[in-house]
């Protein structure tokens, strides 16, 4: 599973991290409102992953230019989200220029994971963060075999301050 995750990380970073989009960079540093779009995206992706490949295909939108991903067919304001074309996985990330905002968003998503995902049959799995991750939480859906990893990530930028991001990966049972 670690090799597949490493492959997905490289694939995602090569396809979308070449330049953080100006739309994300221009968002400013104020935290999202109490009704978080990121939590809504996580909720919709979790429901589709638990329901299986057919529901995941329903999330598939138009292709992302210069990428091996298709956009999600759900609103993802402020997030870069995609579904792998050849391997079935979903990935979303939202960049922030300061650690405090990224940590606040990560905390909101964990809160939803503990409440919303748990009530939908998902179980939290403890894990040790990989290199480049500040924190990492995994959720497993025992009935379907689906998994979601929620990560707080730091990316070096060559500037004085690194770029912080919250991302989540989701995939059905292989």
What's the pLDDT tens digit per position in 106-140?
888 888 888 888 888 999 887 777 777 889 999 99
Rounded distance between C-alpha atoms, residue 9 and residue 30, angstroms:
27
Residue 37 has pLDDT above 90, yes or no: no
Is 61 contained in some domain?
yes
Is 6 contained in some domain?
no
Residue 62 has pLDDT above 90, yes or no: yes
Angle at 78 between CA 76 and CA 84, to 5 degrees: 50
Is 8 contained in some domain?
no
Query: What pLDDT, on a 0 to 100 scale, did the predictor assign at position 174?
Result: 58
Is 19 contained in some domain?
no
Is 53 contained in some domain?
yes
Higher pLDDT, 5 or 57: 57
Q: For the chain, what is the domain count?
A: 1
Average pLDDT over the chain reads 75
Query: What pLDDT, on a 0 to 100 scale, did the predictor assign at position 70?
Result: 92
Query: What pLDDT, on a 0 to 100 scale, did the predictor assign at position 1?
Result: 46
The pTM of this model reads 0.72
What six digits make up the tokens of 139? 């959720």
Rounded distance between C-alpha atoms, residue 38 and residue 167, angstroms:
10
Confidence label for 145 from pLDDT (cuts 50, 70 and 90): very high
By residue range, what is the domain housing residue 100?
35-171
């Amino acid at each position: 599973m670690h090799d597949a995750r490493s492959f997905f990380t490289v694939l995602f970073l090569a396809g979308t991290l070449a330049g953080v989009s100006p739309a994300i960079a221009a968002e400013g540093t104020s935290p999202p409102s109490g009704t978080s779009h990121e939590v809504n995206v996580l909720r919709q992706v979790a429901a589709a992953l638990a329901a299986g490949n057919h529901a995941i295909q329903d999330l598939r939108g138009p292709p992302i230019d210069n990428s091996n991903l298709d956009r999600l067919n759900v609103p993802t304001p402020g997030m870069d989200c995609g579904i792998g074309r050849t391997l079935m996985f979903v990935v979303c990330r939202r960049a922030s220029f300061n650690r405090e905002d990224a940590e606040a968003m990560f905390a909101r998503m964990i809160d939803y994971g503990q409440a919303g995902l748990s009530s939908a049959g998902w179980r939290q799995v403890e894990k040790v963060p990989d290199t480049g991750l500040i924190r990492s939480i995994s959720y497993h859906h025992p009935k379907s075999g689906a998994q979601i990893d929620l990560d707080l990530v730091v990316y070096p930028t060559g500037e004085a301050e690194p770029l912080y991001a919250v991302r989540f990966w989701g995939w059905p049972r292989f």
